[in-house]
């Protein structure tokens, strides 16, 4: 397997700082709960949170996937870790590593709505618009639009490996 650098560590960190500034300004002192999507979104969420107000930011995590160990979505989303906190009346920001088909995010949005939050917004590090199967998902904050390539690094994996690359790499 060959991996070529697509987005450098420096570009990732610069864009994350920009997103953090935009989110901080948009929420302007409101309390927000970041919902991190395990396992891929952890690195992005941690770095993003460093640019938000610590006095108004809470963390929660979910684990849902339609990929398993494959390079293509199975079409079926499985939730393997649910929420531990209460979200009713809270502003929720889903922090996701990547949106491609939209199946996982669509599932998470529907699941989170049952908790009656005040608002739900979405922040993704990578967006693959040409792969979208679920068209009605509005992503509020996008790090990078990318082509329909299989990518690893900075939290993204292939069979559990390559998450700890400091950059986003395209798999050949």
Q: Distance between CA 120 and CA 56 in Å, rounded?
A: 16
Here the tokens at position 60 are: 């929660």
Angle at 100 between CA 112 and CA 154, to 5 degrees: 90
Residue of 105, 46, 47 lying closest to 73 (CA atoms):
105
Annotation marks residue 26 as catalytic: no
φ, ψ for residue 150 (rounded to 5)? -80, 125
| Residues linked to residue 39 through DSSP beta bridges, in sequence order | none
Residue 65 pairs with which residues in a beta bridge? 78
Cis peptide bond upstream of 39, omega within 30: yes
Among the options 47, 53, 69, 100, which is catalytic? Answer: 100
Of 134, 127, 118, nearest to 149 by C-alpha is 127
Distance, CA of 99 to CA of 131 (rounded, Å): 9
Catalytic residues: 100
């Amino acid at each position: 397997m060959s991996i070529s650098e697509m987005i450098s560590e420096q570009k990732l960190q610069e864009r994350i700082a920009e997103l953090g500034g935009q989110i901080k300004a948009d929420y302007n002192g409101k309390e927000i709960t970041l919902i991190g999507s395990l396992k891929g979104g952890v690195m992005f969420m941690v770095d993003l949170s460093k640019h938000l107000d610590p006095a108004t930011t809470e963390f929660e995590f979910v684990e849902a996937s339609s990929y398993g160990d494959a390079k293509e979505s199975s079409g079926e989303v499985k939730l393997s870790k649910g929420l531990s906190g209460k979200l009713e009346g809270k502003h929720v920001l889903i922090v996701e590593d990547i949106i491609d088909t939209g199946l996982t995010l669509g599932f998470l949005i529907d699941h989170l709505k049952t908790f009656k939050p005040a608002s739900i917004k979405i922040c993704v590090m990578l967006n693959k618009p040409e792969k979208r199967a679920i068209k009605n998902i509005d992503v509020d904050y996008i790090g990078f639009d990318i082509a329909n390539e299989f990518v690893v690094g900075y939290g993204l994996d292939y069979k559990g490996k390559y998450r700890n690359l400091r950059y986003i790499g395209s798999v050949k």
